[in-house]
Amino acid sequence: MKIKLRPYHPTWVLCYFADQSIAKEDHNKKGFDFVIKTLCEHPGAEIELVREFDDVCSRCAKLKPNPAGSVWGDGRSCASSDNPKTVRQVHESNDWTLSTLGLKYGSTIKWMELVRLLKEKMPEIRDPMIGGPDNQGRYEKGLALCLKSQPFARM
């Protein structure tokens, strides 16, 4: 089992795992619910870090068919991919995350290995694109839940 995630999304997975009430941005709640359910049901699932629309995006209410495609994929676009400023911010956050973790686009890594890397190399999520200060507590709680208890610790 492999889950595709963009580099700025794993920190959000942990925040959602710790507190699913933060899903005020309902457009991508289904995507994070899918990722968390899949990780719970498939111990040992791997994460592939991708540049294009991922398994969160593919369930996002803002994703729409677009014959012209977009910067993140053929045949689809969303409000973010149509906004040059957001595209730049996403790419900057992705590049920072990948270099901080020592990974690259196309890297595949077991979820629990990724969680350990995040705890070691990214203890803080100051960039709003990856969660921001408002979600620091949720992030830490998600890390702790995964590392010491159920259900992700089974992986």
Residues engaged in binding ligand SF4 (CB under 6 A): 27-28, 53, 56-57, 60, 62-63, 78-81
| For ligand SF4, the closer CB: 79 or 144 | 79
Query: What is d(CA 44, CA 57) in angstroms, rounded to the nearest whole number?
Result: 22
Q: Is the CB of 27 or the CB of 119 nearer to ligand SF4?
A: 27
Whole-number minimum distance, CB 141 to ligand SF4, in Å?
22
Q: What single string gives the DSSP state of each residue in 114-142?
A: HHHHHHHH-S---SGGGT-GGGHHHHHHH
Cβ contact 123:10 at 8 Å: no
Q: Which residue type, as a one-letter code, is found at position 18?
A: A
C-beta of residue 9 within 8 angstroms of C-beta of residue 34? no
Residue closer to ligand SF4 by CB (options 123, 128) is: 128
**Closest approach of ligand SF4 to the CB of residue 105, in Å:** 15
Q: Closest CB to ligand SF4 among 31 and 142?
A: 31
Please name which of 73, 120, 118 lies closest in space to residue 97, comparing C-alpha atoms: 118
**How many C-beta atoms lie closer than 10 Å to residue 26's C-beta?**
9
* Nearer of residues 79 and 153 to ligand SF4, judged by Cβ: 79
The minimum distance between CB 1 and ligand SF4, in angstroms, equals 21
The two structure tokens encoding residue 93: 């956050």
